Amino acid sequence: MATASCATCVWEAVNNRKVDATMSNVAWGAEIGVNESSVRRHQAHKPVVETDEVMPFSNDQNAKGDITKTLRADRIIPLSEWLDGMREDGQDPDDYTHSFGHSLWGQKPKNGELVTLYANRFSASKKNKKELAESVDYGVAAESVLQSVRSFTYVPTPVAFNPETAVIMPADLQVGKSDLHGSSKETVEQALHSFHEFAAFVKEFRPQEICMVDAGDPIENVFNTSAQLGTNDLDLPHQIEIASNVFLEGIKLFAPLAPKLRFAAVSSNHGAFRLGPKAPGGDAHADFGIVIANMLRNALKLNDAAFNHVTVQTPDPYMESLYFQTSGSDIGVVHGHQAGGPDKLGTWWQGQTHGNLPVSKARILLAGHWHSLRVYQSGDGRWVIVGPSSDRGSTWFTNLKGEAAQSGMLSFTTSDNAWSNLRIL
């Protein structure tokens, strides 16, 4: 089988003519602009198959998810058609690296003239976590972010959806923090890996709504503790930029997968605007997590056709917690630093209920801050769910207690105040 590196093969394809016995190899060389030996080698390597059969389409996928496809046709198949085929098979081309090519193939049907076909080849290799993370521009300019929103297209699927909601909690990313298991780059890799794992689940589960809950601490900040200026790997502006870009990637990934998408964010201790260590600089909404949510809300308005099914929710003025209802479930969200420990959130919740504050109507309370999974009941059978962290570890806690929790994002499904499919991604 000849490859496109053969000048004579290329000439045949471009000029739609065949190098045959009508002229000598010397004459063909003069016609094409190559020497006689090149024509002779071409005649030797070009196969001729006397058959009426057409090369069958092959579509193989190995255990790692890598894809190989081959198809003989009377033309060169462009990359766009291969990628369209992946989408029809339910695969996202952005999750893969691609390569494609072709070889010329001479076919002589029985009792017919020699024709030239193209043996088209396509391969797609599953990206790893590092490659997925590198798809996010760490230093992307504001205009590039806006353009990525403007150019996004939402194509709703006609398939029926389940009457349930899928929830993912990107809590405590603390972008800018450098610790035991890496720094900001590794945090972004972990977060994007969790998003893609959740998207794969959602494509199968098909919920009627997706809730992406930022339970706080999206950035490390610089004045939450006195050590941060010495241990961080990013300054404050870049922490905000990268955290907002990571959340935007999640929104773009989830937006086509459900009729409704909610992004909810609450105030937090690492997110708070401070004038110095332990020195708050404003009220509960002087918070960089709230600012990021407001930035995303305004950016999504630039492409209402694609994102008009997306809701961005933050707490009411002066409030640190919020409430929403989805698929018959009453959900409350708070960061969690308001309580003296993860197991004391139930007591804090009781006080909020007595004061008729936002989470008083909730039956499931979601929180972050404590960097480890907790699930328990409180009061009259309500649920407290504390999510894990996506950051790179907390050495001070490990040194103090000798313990470390599994990193990742919590995901679950819910309807009618019940939950299921609880996983750390």
Annotated domain spans of the chain: 1-46, 50-126, 129-424
| Residue 55's pLDDT band (cuts 50, 70, 90) | very low
Q: Among 173-182, 203-212, 377-386, which stretch is predicted with the lowest mean pLDDT?
A: 173-182
Q: What is the pLDDT of residue 397?
A: 59
Q: What is the pLDDT of residue 52?
A: 42
**Domain made up of 129-424: CATH architecture:** 4-Layer Sandwich (3.60)
> Measured between alpha carbons, how far is residue 418 from residues 66, 116, 210, 261, 276 in Å?
37, 62, 16, 20, 43
Provide the percentage of residues in the chain whose pLDDT is more than 90.
Answer: 38
Mean pLDDT of the chain, nearest integer: 81
Provide the percentage of residues in the chain whose pLDDT is more than 70.
Answer: 80
In contact, 385 and 424? CB cutoff 8 Å: no
pTM: 0.66
Q: What is the pLDDT of residue 84?
A: 85
Order across the sheet with 310-313: list the strands: 310-313, 260-265, 207-214, 162-169, 410-415, 418-424
Position with higher pLDDT, 40 vs 111: 40
Distance CA 91, CA 87 (A): 5
pLDDT at 207 over 50: yes
pLDDT at 134 over 50: yes
Position with higher pLDDT, 65 vs 262: 262
Q: What is the pLDDT of residue 53?
A: 43
Mean pLDDT of 335-345: 90
Mean pLDDT of 266-276: 87
Q: What is the pLDDT of residue 7?
A: 72
